[in-house]
Chains A and B, each alone.
Chain A
Amino acid sequence: MKPITKLAGCAGALGLAMFAALPAWAQDAALQAPAAAPSPPTVNKGDTAWMMTSTLLVLMMIVPGLALFYGGLTRAKNMLSTMTQIGAVACFAMLIWVMWGYTEAFGDGGGAFISGFGKAFLKGVTSDSTAATFTPGVAIPEYVFICFQMTFAAITVALVLGSVVERMKFSAVMVFALVWLTLVYFPVAHMVWASNGFFFAKGALDFAGGTVVHINAGVSALVAALILGKRLGYPHERIVPHSLTMTGIGTGLLWVGWFGFNAGSALEANGSAGLAMINTFVATASAGLFWMLAERLNGHKGSALGFCSGIVAGLVAVTPAAGNSGPFGAIILGAIASIVCFYAVSVLKPRLGYDDALDAFGVHGIGGMIGAIGTGIVYAPGLGGPGKPDFNMGHQLAVQIEAVLTTIVWAGIGTVIAIFIAKAVTGLRVSAEVEREGLDLGEHGERAYN
């Protein structure tokens, strides 16, 4: 294993973040340089400022970004319910994160699937604690790293809700979030991003969370929607977005926030962040237009929702590739992901008959898989990617596919458990009367519009 290459390739710097704290590594360093005590890693104020900014950008993706994006796609009677579910599970995820999430994903030591629990309730973390970046000797404050990763956990659990809105009880959503984060999100984040994680050790590439966030959320969304069942009237009644204007605003906020997501995953304000930034521009631009093109080729008009959907599909697909692709590889990746996602939501979904209300699986799940597997291709230096000249595409593709399949199985099983616990505790689904009247009044006692 070539740690430097791997680290440079994998945004999950978490691995690196951890490596300074690993006793084995510290011992090695001490053995190699017995004369001079290793100097502590330097915290650069520029890096720190960028990471704090990135963290806030990702927060902006949740409320208002995702809340408006998803809210606009629901019916007017469920607008507040959708926004509230997203905001509330994000808040819950933040609290769980500092209690046992951070230590479960990035704590001290641990194995291939979860980390140790020595940092439960942030034990031992102070304002002087640091987390390593991809550059040896460069660190960021650990609190900043904790906050940055916290926003990822918060938005991922919120993404899952896209398939189950308009019919799931608010209490069920909260119970589901608790169990799902613990059983699914934290272990997968550890596997992909921690230096001793299952996928990381195999060399899987995932710059900003294509596997951890999007495949994970998308597959979980599909499983949850299948167990929960279809909305009343679907697909015979007219169930259409109540405000594509809101969805458009949400799309813009998601795109801007995604720069924190992707370029922030370099963990430093450097060229790797710059590469992630340009890829996040061009892959998304390509995907937004290609979805509309796919609509035209299928005899429809190029639509606003198609444009917004394409933007998100492109953002999803470029997430694992952000720092692992050249700009032109990213453009191709965005275009392919957009077209495949279009067929997933317009052909595959109706044919299979599941009710993924806001296409969380169709866009995040499918787009994430295209992105994760495609990253194994666009990483190649011959295609403009940052891979080394001896890059072995066949091997890398096998690793990427293995990570995707493992995540699908893990997320699927974990979601089944989480949904059935939520069902046992809360009953899971609102009554038919509440569903007809709308969850805004039925679950929260207020209306979005008066």
Chain B
Amino acid sequence: MKLVIAIIKPFKLDEVREALSDVGVAGMTVTEVKGFGRQKGQTEIYRGAEYSTNMVPKIKVEVACGDDLSHRVVEAIQQAANTGAIGDGKIFVLDLAQAVRIRTGETDDVAL
């Protein structure tokens, strides 16, 4: 099993969700996060006073999937979240050791 973590632009969430549904992903977890990469940050100006923020708002999507599906999941996110502009985000793939469905006690692939 793999855990795919994607940091994407907030307005791309709906497209990413649709693309993942098409691939057959059954569920996902979404968090509003802040961070920075090469985009560095942005400047806000209030009544002439400038504030540089180095944290930019992003969305973190976490998807757990079987080993066979992970490549397609990564590909779907990469295509759906791509605008070609700086700050589109990153995708990380981790090995997932265990999964348990709380209601039934089912484990691993069945629990996804």
Contact = CB atoms under 8 A, between A and B. Distances in A.
A binds B: yes
Interface of A: 235, 238, 240-241, 295, 298, 300-301, 303, 305-306, 309, 342, 345-347, 350, 359
B47 interface: yes
B49 A305 contact: no
B51 A305 contact: no
Nearest to A358: B47
Chain B interface size, as a band, is: under 10
A25 to B, nearest CB: 48
A134 to B, nearest CB: 38
A232 to B, nearest CB: 16
B48 A235 contact: no
Contacts, number: 28
A240 B48 CA distance: 12
A430 to B, nearest CB: 23
A306 B49 CA distance: 11
B92 interface: no
Nearest to A347: B48
Contacts of B95: none
A113 B48 CA distance: 39
A346 B48 CA distance: 4
Contacts of A303: 45-46
B45 A345 contact: no
B47 to A, nearest CB: 5
B53 to A, nearest CB: 7
B53 A306 contact: no
Contacts of B48: 295, 298, 300, 342, 345-347, 350
B44 interface: yes
A303 B48 CA distance: 10
A346 B53 contact: no
Contacts of B47: 305-306, 309, 345-346, 359
Contacts of B46: 240-241, 303, 305
B27 to A, nearest CB: 29
Nearest to B53: A238
A306 B51 CA distance: 15
A350 B47 CA distance: 11
A416 to B, nearest CB: 27
16 contacts: A235-B49, A238-B53, A240-B44, A240-B46, A241-B46, A295-B48, A298-B48, A300-B45, A305-B47, A309-B47, A342-B48, A345-B47, A345-B48, A346-B47, A350-B49, A359-B47
Contacts of B45: 300-301, 303
Contacts of A306: 47
Interface string B34-48: 000000000011111
A285 to B, nearest CB: 20
Nearest to A244: B46
A340 to B, nearest CB: 13
Give the top 3 A-B pairs by smallest Cβ distance, nearest first: A346-B48, A345-B47, A238-B51
Given A300-B48, A346-B49, A350-B48, 18 more contacts: A235-B49, A238-B53, A240-B44, A240-B46, A295-B48, A298-B48, A300-B45, A301-B45, A303-B46, A305-B46, A305-B47, A309-B47, A345-B47, A346-B47, A346-B48, A347-B48, A350-B49, A359-B47
Interface in B41-69: 44-49, 51, 53
A237 to B, nearest CB: 9
A20 B48 CA distance: 50
A306 B48 CA distance: 9
A12 to B, nearest CB: 32
A395 B44 CA distance: 46
Contacts of A295: 48
A235 B51 CA distance: 10
A347 B47 CA distance: 10
B46 to A, nearest CB: 5
Contacts of B51: 238, 240
B66 to A, nearest CB: 41
A306 B45 CA distance: 10
Contacts of A359: 47
A240 B47 CA distance: 10
B10 to A, nearest CB: 18
A92 B32 CA distance: 44
A298 B53 CA distance: 21
Contacts of B53: 238
A431 B51 CA distance: 26
Contacts of A235: 49
A345 B48 CA distance: 7
A359 B46 CA distance: 11
Nearest to B47: A345
Nearest to B48: A346
Contacts of A238: 51, 53
A113 to B, nearest CB: 36
